[in-house]
Each structure stands twice: as C-alpha cells, then as structure tokens.
Amino acid sequence: MRRGGGFALAAVIALAAPAMAQNQGAGADAAVTRGRMLFEEKCTTCHTLGSGDFLGPDLAGVADRRPREWLLRFIVEPDRVLAEGDPVALELLKKYSDLEMPNLKVTLEEAEAALAYIATGGAAAGAAAAPSVPPASAPGAPAAVEPLGPQWRMSTQVYIGLLFLAAVILTAAAFLVVYKGSQPRAEYEKFERVFDTIQRYWTASLVIATLLFTVALLPLVPFPPVRAATEETQVVKVEALQFGWNMEPRTVKVGTPVEFRVTGRDVNHSFGLVDPHGVLLFQVQAMPRYVKEAVYTFDEPGTYHVLCMEYCGLAHHVMRTTVQVVR
C-alpha cells in the first residue's frame, strides 16, 4: 500500500507540475503587464528605462544598484525615506536639482509589479501586451475582414457632401420663410427708441456697479501686504527651472524681512509661498533674464512650502520645495 500510494502521489505531482509552471508563468506575465501600465502612468514623467537620465535617474538596471527592500520602500513612501535622512535618497535629491519624488500612493503590490517590469528592461513590454491572433487557416479562426475599398470611401464622401448640401438648402429656406413673414420695419421704430434708451442706461449702470464692486473688494484681498526691505533684510536667491528650485539659503528668521529675488532659467514659472496652514502668502513671476523682488516678514516659525503656480511642463506638479523659518 505504501509503495502504491507513493507511486500515485508521484504521478499526480508529475501531471500537475506543467500546469503549476504554466500558472506561475501566467502570473509573472500579469505582474509585468501591470508593472508596465503603472510605469507608463506614474513614472515616465521623470524617469526612462534605458534612455538615460531625465528629471530623475534612468531606472534600467536599478535592481542591480540598490537593494530590493530599499527600492520597494522608496517607491511606496519616498517622502518618509527623505524625512528620515536616508543618505542614498539625499544624494539623489542633491544630484537631481532638489527635485523630490512625490508620494504617488503606490501600494506594495504595485511597487513589486513595477520592479518586475523594470527588471525586464522594457523588453517584455511588447510581448506581454501583444494579444495572440489566431492564423486565418486555424480551425475556428474568424474569417479575415478585408479593408474598405476606395469605392466605398468615395461613396461615403459623396453621401456626406449631399447631407451637407441638403442642410445648407434647408437653412436657407428657413431664413427665407422668416424674412417673408417679417413685419414692415416701420412698426419696430418706436420700440427701437425705447430699447436703445434702456440699453444705454443699463450699460452705464452695469459699468458703474462693476467699478464700485471692484473697489469695495480690494481691501478683502486675502494676501498680506508685502513689506519694504530694510538694512536687516535677509536675501534669498531663487532660480526656477524645469522642474525644481535652486534656492539659497533655505532657512530664514522670524520677524526679519526676507527679500526673495526670483528668476527663471528656462521657461516662465511662478514662485508661490504657502504657509504651514495651507494659505497662499504671495506669488512672484519667475522669468528668464528678469529678477523680480518680493519682501516678506514671517510672523511664525515652521515649514513653508514653495510651489510653481504656473504650468511649465509635464512634471509641473512635482515642482515644489520648502523654506524653514526659525526663531
């Protein structure tokens, strides 16, 4: 019995092994396909796969350069890795113009799928995504559909042209009916004088009301006044570039005026300063070959966020940094 049972078990394993291997292969292909979709959706804005560095590093071969555990954690929560002072993350941040990788809300499972795709170097993308098409001669294969010929295309163009012509004729006929049925102009002259008077008074009233409304709202603009520079002013030089900020220094003091001298390197940007409570304090245009100044005095310490307030390209949404305000 034991010998027979062992033989039966071996036979079952031998028969099941190909199916298990096939299922594992299908699972791996599904992970690569999902990883490819994730990479194209969330990663290609800043990274390439074998085409060299872009806004961030080229990810080809990254699994050979970094431990898998580190990669997974950095994909899932890059903000926490940076906040903890990870030396590798800080080195990458310095190398790529202080452009922080945002937290894209990627799950651990999605990160593993992305790494599975990255490990293929992109070579498996076409194979994983290409659907299998049965040959026309295979049993049960659908009959080949011949492409539409030029005769059909020509008749379609003629058909559309006739429809357009009919629409033009119907529209012209409708205008003609309305014109023929209209009353003599003399009956409308007395109404025109009244309408002209109402229109003039209404337009003048609307202009006056708009001016008064604008003047009344000016004191309610939610931006505090920008204060003048003094001898104690701290100077912060800001350069905007796709897609990051060169800023020195990044730490300023409470109660002392800070003069931000803002310029741009490539395209137009806008320097927006947001306080720790999420309130926009002010914004300054950042343009190449021009330097714009804004003086502001901070009333409370904390981490203030710098955002680009003008769309400047594909990675505009990751163009952010911080200013530390201390006592």
* Cβ(39)–Cβ(117) below 8 Å: yes
Cα–Cα distance for residue pair 281/39, rounded to 1 Å: 36
The predicted pLDDT at position 25 comes to 53
What pLDDT is recorded for position 141? Answer: 45
pLDDT of residue 24: 52
CA proximity to 42, closest of 88, 92, 93, 101: 101
* Token reading at 275: 């306080």
How far the first Cα of the chain sits from its last, in Å, is 84
- Phi first, then psi: what are they for 258, rounded to 5°? -120, 125
Mean pLDDT of all residues belonging to the chain: 78
Instruction: Give the CB-side neighbour count of residue 247, counting CA atoms within 13 A.
Output: 26
d(CA 113, CA 76): 12
Closest alpha carbon to 306 in 108, 99, 114: 99
CA nearest to 102, candidates 149, 46, 142, 168? 46
Backbone angles phi, psi at 244, to 5 degrees: -170, -175
> Tell me: the pLDDT tens digits for 193-252?
777 888 888 888 889 999 998 888 777 765 555 555 566 889 999 999 888 889 999 999
The Cα diameter of the chain in Å comes to: 116
Average pLDDT of span 56-69: 89
| Residue the block writes with tokens 């320097």 | 271
All structural domains of the chain: 12-129 (1.10.760.10), 234-326 (2.60.40.420)
CA atoms within a 13 Å half-sphere pointing along the CA-CB vector of 78: 17
Distances (CA, A) of 312 to 278, 294, 308, 318: 22, 21, 8, 11
Residue 279 has pLDDT above 70, yes or no: yes
Entry pTM? 0.43
For residue 158, what pLDDT is reported? Answer: 73
Name the band, by pLDDT with cuts 50, 70 and 90, for residue 303: very high
Higher-pLDDT residue of 200 and 16 is: 200
